[in-house]
Amino acid sequence: MVRNRVIFTGRVQGVGFRHATKMQARSYKVCGTVRNLKDGSVEMVSEGEPEEVARFIASVQDRMDGVIKETNLTIEDANGEFSEFTVLY
């Protein structure tokens, strides 16, 4: 298991990014969260098998390509704190 923390920058708030990401997560075996940050970026934390998490992140990048300017990925140790994928407000 792996945990990936991704910060997406660009015009990523106010465009349905969090909702779309949550809906996409249903197609993958991942758990985690997505939330807006005060600086206008979006943070997504996802846990799962490395290949599945990588495919999920790639699908989010592909779907939201028109609004993402930059993607910063940090790989961390999974700790199993999530049981589903949710939007944080």
Cβ neighbours of residue 18 closer than 8 Å, sequence gap 6 or more: 34, 35, 36, 42, 87
Given 18, 35, 55, 72, the catalytic residue: 18
Report the number of secondary-structure helices (H) and strands (E) in the chain: 2, 5
Active site residue 26: no
Given 4, 11, 35, 36, the catalytic residue: 36
Contact between residue 44 and residue 54 where contact means Cβ atoms under 8 Å apart: no
Q: What is the largest CA-CA distance in the chain?
A: 32
Active site residue 18: yes
Report the catalytic residues: 18, 36
